[in-house]
Amino acid sequence: MKKLLFVTGMFTLFMLQSCYYDNMEDLYPDNGGTTCDTTNVTFNLTVWPIIQSNCTGCHSGSAPSGNVSLENYNDVVVSVENNKLMGTIRHESGYSPMPKNSSRLSDCNISQLETWINHGYPDN
C-alpha cells in the first residue's frame, strides 16, 4: 500500500512537472541556477556528453562492466531498447542503480535522456 502511494505520488509529481515544463523552464531557471534545456536534445549534443562523463568509464572497452557497452550511439540504443537504460538511471527497483557507486544523475540530465528517448532517440 505504501509503495502504491509512493508510485502514485511520483507519477502525479511527474505529470505536474511535465505540464508546467514548457512554460516554466524559461521563467524559473531553478536547476541549481541553470536552466534545464530539453529542446533540440540529440545524441551528439546532449546524450553523449552525459554518458561519457558518467558511464563509459566502466561501460567501454573489451570487457565492459555487466557486459553492457555504452561506447557509441548503437550501443546506447541497445540499452534503450531492452529497457534497461532508464531503469538503471532512475534507480527503479529490479535494476542495478547507475552510475554504480555514485549519486543519481541530476534531474535535468534524466529529463534530457527521457526527452531524447520520447523523441525516438535522434542521432544528431
Binding site for ligand HEC (CB under 6 A): 54-55, 57-59, 65-66, 68, 70, 79, 84-85, 88-89, 95-96, 98-101, 105
In the complex, what is the shortest distance from the CB of residue 84 to ligand HEC, in angstroms, rounded to a whole number? Answer: 4
Q: Check if the beta carbon of residue 51 is closer than 8 Å to that of residue 122.
A: no
CA distances from 56 to 26, 30, 44 (A): 32, 29, 15
In the complex, what is the shortest distance from the CB of residue 59 to ligand HEC, in angstroms, rounded to a whole number? Answer: 5
Nearer to ligand HEC, 23 or 103 (CB): 103
Nearer to ligand HEC, 36 or 59 (CB): 59
List of residues 6+ apart from 36 with CB closer than 8 A = 25, 29, 107, 108, 111, 112
Nearer to ligand HEC, 59 or 116 (CB): 59
- If you ran DSSP here, which 8-state letter would residue 62 be given? S
In the complex, what is the shortest distance from the CB of residue 123 to ligand HEC, in angstroms, rounded to a whole number? Answer: 18
Nearer to ligand HEC, 40 or 96 (CB): 96
Start-to-end CA distance of the chain, whole Å, equals: 43
